[in-house]
Amino acid sequence: MQNKTRTALIAYAFLAPALILLAVFTFYPVIYGSYLGFTEYKAAQFAAGEAPRFIGVQNFIALFQDELFLKGLWNSIKYIAIVPALQIAALAIAVAVNRKLPFMAFFRAAYYVPVITSIATAAVMWDWIFQKEGTLNWVLQGLHIINSNSAFGWLNNEHTAIWALMLVTFWRGFGYYMVLYMGGLQAVPEEVEEAAYLDGATPFQTFWLVIVPMMRPTLLLCSLLSTFAAIRVLDEVVALTPGGGPLNSTYTALMYVYQKAFDGFNFDYGMASAAGLIIAVIGIGLSIVQFRLNREGEERA
Amino acid sequence: MLKKALMVSAALGMGLGFAQQKVEIEFWSWYLSPKFDNYLKDTIKDFEAKNPNITVKWFDKQDTMVQDLIASINLGKAPDVVNLNIPDTFSAAQNGFLTDISTLTPMSELKGQFWDNPLNNFTVNGKPYGYPWYGWLNEGVMVYNSDLVKKAGYSEKTLPKTNDQLLAFAKRVKDRTGQYGWIPNFIDASGAPLWHGFFYADGLPIYDEKTGKAQFTSSKHVALLKKYVDMYKAGYFPEDMLRKEAFQLSMELYNQGKLATIVGGPQSLTRIKDANKDLYGKTRVAEAPLGKSGRSTGGGMDLVIPAASKHKKEAAMFAEFLSNNVNQMKFAKIVAIVPTSKGAEKDPFFKQESNDPIIQASGMVGASGRYIDPGFNPPKNSSVLYKNLVDNLEAAFLGKKTPKQALDDAATFWNANVNK
């Protein structure tokens, strides 16, 4: 018994530094932030040195009556559509570059470049691409998909702006997930692929029926990461459509939070925290769904 | 033991006594480093030489300025003199972050140093909250590409003088040259609306400063908005004007030879000179067209003293020094700003003859500090109101709402939220 207590104490002592850091920089802000969501705490109170005032769920009621927030929330949910596309593409590319062929190192590096490119640089480039007289329209005209009369700025059209931004997110993200998947692929024995090949499976079947199921844990991790990233997307949205895009078509829930919390001296920490809580709850809900789906998949496999 | 404690506290007391004699104040400028390091360092040195008991610690803040200020107030380490713009001064003062400077510098002294208009730019609910610093005119000069203008059939003498003529000009330039003639200011860099300035330029009201109620729904307002909306729909303005700040977009297009004019301050000329020497050679300046009211709106920077500052008296001395006529004129000689101090208009620097567009433009606007017109002041709760106004104006430009519907909707929202 005594021995056990000692072991536990030693374990906690080793954990303490990390726990203290987590408590100070993660748990405390999360708890305090959640509390703020139930208070009124505006700039004027802050300037006067007053404490937040508890008001129950009033902020949440106000949020669900605020068209701008609802629009933002809807756009954020739409943004999650990028997750499956991004994950499948990243995994497929990872499989493709995970071979011992010439120039593979070059491709791996090239696919990773967007991850480390600063958003300011990327925004200038994508702004050119999406212009009315930009590269994308030039290519589409070359392919006779559109003609010069129907060309439009992709970021200036309420129907295309959010998809254009998702393309940027896709471009910025897939190198990152590719690297994670390459790590996961190390765990897939070569013999399995060989066996599938000997059994007469096509490359597509091998990918879909052999590699994807074996990569389930990495897939779950990456999907969770990218779901959270999608629901919290901000950089590219603000850089390319600062006001929230045509008719607020790219205005996301996090932009609402950001404006309430950081937009000059008119800030409203109570509303910002409440809106942040709603986004967090949706994020957690989606992760539970993903865990469930993953488990069901495992049972079937 | 007791003796020791007494000695320690006496020593501490003396230490504090000495510290009080030499005061260190903290000054935050905004986006001025590294370009104006020499000017600011020299001016600070000058101030310290005249006030040996005060040292000034200078920091240049950039995009995180407001956040840093809020955080420093929270930590009890607020700076003493801060450089803000008009909208930030308003929301900071409305929320109680700033000191009424007339409690530090008598009103008569403020009126002696600054013109009324710039001082009014920083007066919130009847109280001044900022020492006016450098300013600008929104319709300072018209910078134009003489080649494009000629191609469109205009000469120096027939250039537009009014906003209506400017719209006709934009149409003709596009029809004859295929390039844009002019881009109206729709939003600023933060996404706040600028377009409603055109109401003001025509002498139409925006809102009642006493009650806060919107006043932009009359048939005259609707007709004015419609003129611009029609031009946009017919393709005479670039699509990007709804998404990008006009100054940035104008610079991009002008430097590529795709835009004939920029109406604004002389600062665009420096950018053209840096980006495209050939084009700069073809660039000329003229008086800016004005709206029916004949007024040119403008803006400016000020120096505020946070309510949380611990050295307000010394801060006021420094702010007054930095914004006096001598130091504003020194600044004006380095960069084309409009000094807001009395006496600047008589400075020979603004009367030089030259063929260089930058010197011409500086002369045209430099001496006009007293005319800087605030237009209208930001209302309470401005971020929320402005976002909704931009959304509604945008809906009108994109044809989702009629101009009348857009203005009515914006006014309804405005009235419901202005006093919240």
C-alpha distances out from residue B110 to B105, B137, B388, Å: 7, 22, 36
Which among A46, A243, A267 is the nearest to B187, CB-wise?
A: A243
CB distance A264–B242 less than 8 Å? no
CB distance A46–B70 less than 8 Å? yes
CATH 3.40.190.10 in chain B, residues? 23-136+299-371, 141-297+377-416
CB count within 10 Å of CB B72 equals 17
A106 CB contacts (<8 Å, ≥6 apart)?
none
Tell which CATH architecture fits domain B141-297+377-416: 3-Layer(aba) Sandwich (3.40)
**B86, B100, B239, B241: which to substitute to probe chain A, counting the most A Cβ within 10 Å?**
B239
Number of domains composing chain A: 1
Q: What is the ipTM of this complex?
A: 0.84
In a domain, A23, yes or no: no
In a domain, A21, yes or no: no
CB distance B70–A247 less than 8 Å? no
Q: CA of B294 to nearest chain A CA: how many angstroms apart?
A: 31
Are A161 and A241 a contacting pair, CB within 8 Å? yes
Which CATH code fits B23-136+299-371?
3.40.190.10
B379 CB contacts (<8 Å, ≥6 apart)?
B207, B209, B212, B385, B414, B418
What's the rounded Cα separation, in Å, for the pair A216 and A299? 12
In a domain, A7, yes or no: no
CB distance B95–A44 less than 8 Å? yes
Which helix (H) or strand (E) segment holds residue B127: the answer is strand B127-128
Nearest to A115 by CA among A52, A180, A159: A180
What is the pLDDT at residue A300?
66
Measured CB to CB, residues of chain A less than 8 Å from chain B are 42-44, 46-48, 68, 131-132, 152-153, 155-156, 158, 241-248, 259, 262-267
What is the pLDDT at residue A301?
58
State the residue range of the domain holding A271: 38-299
Give burial (CB, 10 Å; 0-12/13-18/19+) of A164.
buried
CB distance B91–A43 less than 8 Å? yes
For each of chain B's 420 residues, which pLDDT tens digit applies? 444 544 444 444 444 444 457 899 999 999 999 989 999 999 999 999 999 999 999 999 998 899 999 999 999 999 999 999 998 999 999 999 999 999 999 999 999 999 998 999 999 999 999 999 999 888 889 999 999 999 999 998 999 999 999 999 999 999 999 999 999 989 887 677 888 888 988 999 999 988 999 999 999 999 999 999 999 999 999 999 999 988 889 999 999 999 999 998 788 898 899 889 999 999 999 989 988 888 877 889 999 999 999 999 999 999 999 999 999 999 999 988 899 999 998 888 888 888 888 888 888 888 888 888 767 788 888 889 999 999 999 999 999 999 999 999 999 999 999 987
What is the pLDDT at residue A296?
79
Which among B242, B307, B391 is the nearest to A156, CB-wise?
A: B242
Which among A48, A245, A267 is the nearest to B96, CB-wise?
A: A48
Residue B394, classed as helix, strand or coil, is helix
In a domain, A104, yes or no: yes
Instruction: Using the structure block, give the residue that is written with the tokens 């309470």.
Output: B380
**B309, B387, B418, B419: which to substitute to probe chain A, counting the most A Cβ within 10 Å?**
B387
What's the rounded Cα separation, in Å, for the pair A284 and B116? 56
What is the pLDDT at residue B1?
44
What is the pLDDT at residue B140?
83
What is the pLDDT at residue A54?
97
Q: Is B292 near chain A, with CB under 8 Å?
A: no
Q: Is B72 near chain A, with CB under 8 Å?
A: no
Residues of B in contact with A261 (CB under 8 A): none
pTM score, whole prediction = 0.86
CB distance B383–A248 less than 8 Å? no
In a domain, A185, yes or no: yes
Regions in chain A scoring below 50 on pLDDT: none
Q: CA of A232 to nearest chain B CA: how many angstroms apart?
A: 20
Which helix (H) or strand (E) segment holds residue B366: the answer is helix B357-366
